[in-house]
A and B are shown apart, each in its own frame.
Chain A
Amino acid sequence: MKLLKPSWVSHHGKPIFSVDIHPDGTKFATGGQGEDSGKVMIWNMAPVLREEDEKNEDVHKMLCQMDNHLACVNCVRWSNNGLYLASGGDDKLVMVWKRAAFIGPSTVFGSSSKLANVEQWRCVTILRNHTGDVMDVAWSPHDVWLASCSVDNTIVIWNARKFPEMVTCLRGHTGLVKGLTWDPVGKYVASQADDHSLKVWRTVDWQMEANITKPFNECGGTTHVLRLSWSPDGQYLVSAHAMNNSGPTAQIVERDGWKTNMDFVGHRKAVTVVKFNPKIFKKKQKNGSSNKPSCPYCCCAVGSKDRSLSVWLTSLKRPLVVIHDLFDKSIMDISWTLTGLGMLVCSMDGTVAYLDFSLDELGDPLSEEEKNSIHQNIYGKSMAITNTEAQLSTTIIENPEMLKYQQQRQTSTQTNSAPGTVGPESSAPKLNSVMNGESLEDIRKNLLKKQVETRTADGRRRITPLCIAQLDTGDFSPALFNSVPILPSGSSMSNQLTPHLSSDSSPGQPSSLGFRPSHDPMLTSPPANSLKALEDNNEGVKSTLLLTSASKIEPIKALDSRFTERSKATPGLTAAITSTKECKLKEDTSSDSEDKMASINKNLMYSKRKPELMIDGGEVVEKRKKGRPRKEKMTTSMVQSFTQVHTVSVPPSAVAALRLPTPSTQKAFSLQVSMEPSVFLEVENEVTVVAGSKLSQLRCSKDGRDWNTLLPSSTLESVDLIAVASEDRMLSVFSSCGRRLLPAIQLATPVSALHCTAHFVMVVTAGATLSVWSVLIQRKRYTLSVFINTSVSQSLLTQQGVPVVGLSNGKSFCFSSSLETWSLIADKADSLVQCADFRGCLSSHDAPVSSGPLAVMQGRYLNAGRLASRLSSTPHHMQQSMTLAFLENQLASALTLQSGQEYRYWLLIYSRFLVNEGSEHRLRELCKELLGPVHTSATTSWEPTTVGFRKRELLREVLPVIGENLRFQRLFTEYQDQLELLRNK
């Protein structure tokens, strides 16, 4: 061990209260008393480490001094990333400093010291909240928070990513709080105070986790500071001043149960400061010794009011070294270098000492990887990326593209970070001269003549100063902290939500079955009336059903894709549809009771009432009775279509038949279907009564052109494509000009919801069937049975014609045509959503997709997970897996929905998450899938595109994300090369 007291490190003989070594080891800060104010000084480390640098006049010793604190500075701490320095003092303030962007050394004007500031550090934020002296400040792991404690008995947690925002104020101490330390995995923060207690606070809810008082009961007197420390493995917390049998000790508190069984004994006076070495060590393997792996241990330095310093290894029972009489006064602070081999100690007597240890003395420090794996074993906390950055910075970048991405990333994340090297030439670069090549001297000569002087209204002189340098003010660039909030897509939902009106109509009235027999041949929808829906297709037809409860209903009517073909036989349209764009219309056809005209608000579009589920055995029976004659009547026309469908008679008691609510009919209503061009739709029911039959009039006005259609019976709605469902279960589809596009379609049960999108029309009937028609190719896409014990609360049709239904139990499904099955795309009760935390993976320039079908169905609760990492106490690895699972679900759902933009959006988040979490295998698999086979072969089943994107283009977007992490540079290079190869082909 070497010991050095650099005499040039001094505050002109005034006490030095705090010392902290910069994470890059090139400089250190001291804080203490200045001449009239508090003083923060930044020193070059090189002259401490090397004698030749100390003697070299060209190597600056003092880099910067800041007199801004009005009173004594009690604590200085560098942020973990080294960009910021926080200082707290008797003036109740915490100041955060950043290396400033100005050229050249400068003196402090008017300062007696003629020493130039080689580096310019400027205060970027003042944190005001404390009402008493600030005694200690501490940055949390990864610089998420900054904690400060004060003699006002409080601890304030600041949002280090958004200064000066305060996260919380921890109250509970009843005495001056004099020390702070963060748990290395960021789960706790601990404080020690004069109130004879040490308190541990959870970062999850900022509540007190433990209050340890026993070892401190005997503590009397006062120490200026009580700087406690947490071991790098997180297992032990060591307090400052504690007492054991009337002797001063440093109490060891175990993380496990906060037990206080051990302490460091030997100091004659109170312990003021404890500081763990940031490294974990293992025994140095000597040649010839047994290769038995030794247990890792930690190293801890203890400083005391008795002016002595002791250094301990947790593997030894006695201290490694004790140094007496190092100072004339109490030791105030200790700081280790990040390498774990050097240590600076400062004292109230105004001097500092540097201790240099060798590997032989301390042991072999574990690499960051090994340290991480220890953390991971104990806490499951992945710190793979953040913690290894320092180490990675020494990795050679092998690929120019990679270098590019790394540089981009650096410029974006550290807009203004100062290089680590120290010297006159390293002064930061950002002074933009605005002097047009004129020398400052020239300017000064003529300044008086040239400067603009005006008179204000009240006659006062006003001088416009000459700007000689612009200052970039983006000191706290938000880019530094990727904190882009996900905006819930709440607003867009209202546009797409179809209003569901419930009508309590009793489905009692006999329907006029033979009303329009001419339409029967066109009947495409299976008779799904209640029991009839219970058609069995045990012929092995793939069942497409939503069975969400374990109901006993076995006979299931399902869609057979063959239906689709059959519907081809439907008499077709005579004209092709040319302009079919967005179309949205849905309306009400109530049950056949025509005399029941519910008056519904015109703005029914915005009224959302929970549909009611009607399950009623008696009613079923009734329906069945009524259904029969109809069936008989229809069978003739449906024989060919439904040959394989057998109607099974099920005892009504065993059946819980679902009926979806149907909107009730209005006498008349109008509807603005779209704004641009403005299209109004008016419906008037019961317009003319001719011979007892009622007609409804549908009037659509578009750009002044009106057209009318008379329909027998009532109602409906839509846009460029206009679909009208009438209460006689007829579905009519018109073009925007009013031309009938499809023959009237007879539906089996009244319409519950109706959607038009692009050239698709979707109908959900009260009988719980869902049908989609493509008007363009006059083909029925699907008819699905939604046969469930829940009610459909939301339904929509995507631009690609994929039907989506949201159920009242919170689940949303879409129909995957390729898989011919319903797929779950959203579940309100899904705990994954609650726990997934991918905030860190959101890119600032990808605006959240809020309008896609996936977002619409999930919108409301998608952001539940945003605060998951703060709110949930689940272990990190659990959360990691949950997030992963969630993201993969999102990807799969977007794919099923054929929602390209959303797929791309989630793909990028997913890949960024993989990159951040270091999941190389999944990343590789993802890249492999996107790249596909490099050489074409006949046997490959790889599709070059997915949901409208070329997969290789997607890969090109994913690669820069991968490029941000140096660990994956091999992977990056591999795929980058292959992409290039393919492009050149």
Chain B
Amino acid sequence: MAKVQVLNVAVLDNPSPFGNPFQFEITFECMEDLPEDLEWKIIYVGSAESEEYDQVLDSVLVGPVPAGRHMFVFQADAPNTGLIPESDAVGVTVVLITCTYHGQEFIRIGYYVNNEYTGPELRENPPLKPDYSKLQRNILAPNPRVTRFHINWEGVADTMEDSENVDPSPNTRGMLPPPCVPGKMPPLGLLPENSMDCL
């Protein structure tokens, strides 16, 4: 049973120009006083094809966390465009918010992000080299995909051997559509409502 439950994540400043910082207002509840800080990260997935292009936009420590309900705004700068493959600049990608305690990730919240040009002209004829200044970022706030992992909240010393812990690593790409989908995401509307709950 997680000691920390994320109750809500509100996406602020959305949609917004590509270069604006990300802002997430996170509300969470803690069952008991936490002796250690929580570590939150925002990860921007540069390309669906490979983890190689993942960028950790920022990571913050959050604490102290007494028992109760808390909120904070997590702001992180826009991704470094130089690290994004040009072919993946426009279109659908993913931004991930993760939280770890004692170095163990216990929740991963994913949002689809649609980057597109604002003007119809550019949309019709996108430049070969992406013009990030004209890109608009639209986070699909109503459809977060939440994956929770059971971790050992009591301390890092004894790792729970009973496989209660799902190792998060195999799931890190879980937010993304299956690699077999060629190139781009399928239209979002076709995504089954629950697909991500079954990660």
Chain A contact residues, CB within 8 Å of chain B: 35-36, 68, 70, 91-93, 95, 102, 106, 109-112, 122-123, 126, 128, 131, 431, 443-444, 447-448, 451, 456, 460-471, 473
Q: How far is the CB of B155 from chain A (nearest CB, A)?
A: 14
Q: How far is the CB of A116 from chain B (nearest CB, A)?
A: 12
Q: How far is the CB of B149 from chain A (nearest CB, A)?
A: 10
Query: 9 shortest A-B CB distances, which residue pairs?
Result: A110-B146, A465-B70, A469-B69, A123-B1, A462-B61, A465-B72, A448-B73, A471-B68, A471-B67
Q: Are A109 and B31 in contact (CB under 8 A)?
A: no
Partner of B62, one of A128, A131, A444, A462: A462
Expressed in whole angstroms, the Cα–Cα distance for A473 and B162 within the complex equals: 28
Q: Are A95 and B1 in contact (CB under 8 A)?
A: yes
Q: Are B60 and A70 in contact (CB under 8 A)?
A: no
Expressed in whole angstroms, the Cα–Cα distance for A95 and B193 within the complex equals: 29
Given contacts A70-B150, A95-B1, contact A35 B197 (CB under 8 A): yes
Q: Are A110 and B144 in contact (CB under 8 A)?
A: yes
Q: How far is the CB of B192 from chain A (nearest CB, A)?
A: 9
Which of B6-14, B84-92, B120-128, B181-189 is near enough to bind chain A?
B6-14
Expressed in whole angstroms, the Cα–Cα distance for A209 and B188 within the complex equals: 62
Q: Does B32 contact A (CB under 8 A)?
A: yes
Over the window 1-28 of chain B, the binary record of Cβ atoms lying under 8 Å from chain A Cβ atoms (1 yes, 0 no) is 1100111111010000000000101011
Q: How far is the CB of B66 from chain A (nearest CB, A)?
A: 7
Expressed in whole angstroms, the Cα–Cα distance for A462 and B72 within the complex equals: 11
Q: Are B67 and A448 in contact (CB under 8 A)?
A: no
On chain B, the number of residues with a Cβ less than 8 Å from chain A's Cβ atoms is: 50
Q: Are A462 and B37 in contact (CB under 8 A)?
A: yes
Q: Which residues of chain A are near B74, meaning CB under 8 Å?
A: 463
Expressed in whole angstroms, the Cα–Cα distance for A763 and B7 within the complex equals: 75
Q: Which residues of chain B are near A464, meaning CB under 8 Å?
A: 62-64, 72
Q: How far is the CB of A122 from chain B (nearest CB, A)?
A: 7
Given contacts A36-B198, A109-B146, A471-B29, contact A460 B59 (CB under 8 A): yes
Q: Are B72 and A451 in contact (CB under 8 A)?
A: yes
Q: Which residues of chain B are near A112, meaning CB under 8 Å?
A: 193-194, 197
Given contacts A92-B162, A109-B9, contact A447 B31 (CB under 8 A): no
Given contacts A35-B197, A447-B72, A461-B61, contact A93 B9 (CB under 8 A): no
Q: Which residues of chain A are near B145, meaning CB under 8 Å?
A: 110
Q: Are B72 and A91 in contact (CB under 8 A)?
A: no
Q: Are B63 and A467 in contact (CB under 8 A)?
A: no
Expressed in whole angstroms, the Cα–Cα distance for A128 and B162 within the complex equals: 10
Expressed in whole angstroms, the Cα–Cα distance for A451 and B25 within the complex equals: 11
Partner of A109, one of B75, B144, B199: B144
Q: Are A109 and B8 in contact (CB under 8 A)?
A: yes
Expressed in whole angstroms, the Cα–Cα distance for A679 and B193 within the complex equals: 85
Interface residues in B23-61 by Cβ distance below 8 A to A read: 23, 25, 27-33, 37, 58-61
Q: Does B109 contact A (CB under 8 A)?
A: yes
Q: Known pairs A448-B73, A461-B58; list 9 more (Cβ under 8 Å).
A: A109-B9, A110-B6, A112-B193, A112-B197, A447-B73, A460-B61, A464-B63, A464-B64, A468-B68
Partner of B71, one of A91, A95, A447, A456: A447
Partner of A466, one of B1, B6, B72: B72
Closest to B198 in A: A36
Q: How far is the CB of A131 from chain B (nearest CB, A)?
A: 7
Q: Are B109 and A110 in contact (CB under 8 A)?
A: yes
Interface residues of chain B: helix, strand, loop or mixed (majority) = strand
Listed residue (B59, B69, B70, B166) with the most chain A CB atoms within 10 angstroms of its CB: B69
Listed residue (B9, B12, B30, B71) with the most chain A CB atoms within 10 angstroms of its CB: B71
Q: Are A460 and B60 in contact (CB under 8 A)?
A: yes
CB-defined A-B contacts under 8 Å, sample of 18: A35-B194, A91-B164, A92-B164, A93-B164, A95-B1, A102-B29, A109-B6, A109-B8, A110-B6, A447-B25, A448-B73, A463-B72, A463-B74, A465-B63, A466-B71, A468-B69, A471-B29, A473-B67
Q: Are A467 and B1 in contact (CB under 8 A)?
A: no
Q: Are A471 and B193 in contact (CB under 8 A)?
A: no
Q: Which residues of chain A are near B30, meaning CB under 8 Å?
A: 471
Q: Which residues of chain A are near B8, meaning CB under 8 Å?
A: 109
Q: Which residues of chain B are near A456, meaning CB under 8 Å?
A: 61
Q: How far is the CB of B43 from chain A (nearest CB, A)?
A: 16
Q: Which residues of chain B are near A131, meaning CB under 8 Å?
A: 162
Listed residue (B33, B73, B146, B166) with the most chain A CB atoms within 10 angstroms of its CB: B73
Q: Are B69 and A448 in contact (CB under 8 A)?
A: no
Q: How far is the CB of A942 from chain B (nearest CB, A)?
A: 55
Closest to B58 in A: A461
Q: Which residues of chain B are near A471, meaning CB under 8 Å?
A: 29-31, 67-69
Chain B contact residues, CB within 8 Å of chain A: 1-2, 5-10, 12, 23, 25, 27-33, 37, 58-75, 109, 144-146, 150, 162, 164, 166, 193-194, 197-199
Expressed in whole angstroms, the Cα–Cα distance for A466 and B65 within the complex equals: 9
Closest to A433 in B: B69
Q: Are B166 and A70 in contact (CB under 8 A)?
A: yes
Q: Which residues of chain B are near A91, meaning CB under 8 Å?
A: 164
Listed residue (A91, A109, A431, A447) with the most chain B CB atoms within 10 angstroms of its CB: A109
Given contacts A110-B144, A126-B1, A462-B62, contact A469 B194 (CB under 8 A): no
Q: Are B61 and A463 in contact (CB under 8 A)?
A: yes
Q: Are A36 and B164 in contact (CB under 8 A)?
A: no
Q: How far is the CB of B47 from chain A (nearest CB, A)?
A: 24
Partner of B70, one of A123, A128, A431, A468: A468
Listed residue (B6, B59, B64, B197) with the most chain A CB atoms within 10 angstroms of its CB: B197
Expressed in whole angstroms, the Cα–Cα distance for A92 and B69 within the complex equals: 29
Expressed in whole angstroms, the Cα–Cα distance for A448 and B150 within the complex equals: 30
Q: How far is the CB of B2 from chain A (nearest CB, A)?
A: 8
Expressed in whole angstroms, the Cα–Cα distance for A980 and B138 within the complex equals: 75
Q: How far is the CB of A153 from chain B (nearest CB, A)?
A: 16
Closest to B70 in A: A465
Given contacts A465-B71, A467-B68, A471-B30, contact A106 B146 (CB under 8 A): no
Closest to B147 in A: A110
Q: How far is the CB of B93 from chain A (nearest CB, A)?
A: 19
Expressed in whole angstroms, the Cα–Cα distance for A35 and B73 within the complex equals: 31
Q: Are A451 and B73 in contact (CB under 8 A)?
A: yes
Expressed in whole angstroms, the Cα–Cα distance for A444 and B8 within the complex equals: 13
Expressed in whole angstroms, the Cα–Cα distance for A431 and B71 within the complex equals: 15
Q: How far is the CB of A742 from chain B (nearest CB, A)?
A: 64
Closest to B194 in A: A112
Expressed in whole angstroms, the Cα–Cα distance for A463 and B72 within the complex equals: 8
Q: How far is the CB of A948 from chain B (nearest CB, A)?
A: 46
Q: Are B63 and A473 in contact (CB under 8 A)?
A: no
Partner of A106, one of B7, B63, B75: B7
Q: Which residues of chain A are near B25, meaning CB under 8 Å?
A: 444, 447
Partner of A467, one of B9, B10, B70: B70
Expressed in whole angstroms, the Cα–Cα distance for A128 and B8 within the complex equals: 29
Q: Which residues of chain A are near B12, meaning CB under 8 Å?
A: 448
Expressed in whole angstroms, the Cα–Cα distance for A399 and B71 within the complex equals: 47
Expressed in whole angstroms, the Cα–Cα distance for A126 and B1 within the complex equals: 7
Q: Which residues of chain B are near A462, meaning CB under 8 Å?
A: 37, 60-63
Q: How far is the CB of B145 from chain A (nearest CB, A)?
A: 7
Expressed in whole angstroms, the Cα–Cα distance for A123 and B31 within the complex equals: 9
Listed residue (A36, A110, A131, A461) with the most chain B CB atoms within 10 angstroms of its CB: A110
Q: How far is the CB of B161 from chain A (nearest CB, A)?
A: 10
Partner of A70, one of B32, B33, B109, B164: B164
Q: Which residues of chain A are near B70, meaning CB under 8 Å?
A: 465-468
Q: Which residues of chain A are near B23, meaning CB under 8 Å?
A: 448
Q: How far is the CB of A882 from chain B (nearest CB, A)?
A: 43
Q: Which residues of chain B are near A106, meaning CB under 8 Å?
A: 7
Q: Which residues of chain B are near A109, meaning CB under 8 Å?
A: 5-9, 144, 146
Q: How far is the CB of B72 from chain A (nearest CB, A)?
A: 4
Q: How far is the CB of A796 from chain B (nearest CB, A)?
A: 48
Q: Which residues of chain A are near B59, meaning CB under 8 Å?
A: 460-461
Expressed in whole angstroms, the Cα–Cα distance for A469 and B66 within the complex equals: 10
Q: How far is the CB of A423 from chain B (nearest CB, A)?
A: 22
Q: Are A461 and B63 in contact (CB under 8 A)?
A: no
Q: Are B63 and A111 in contact (CB under 8 A)?
A: no
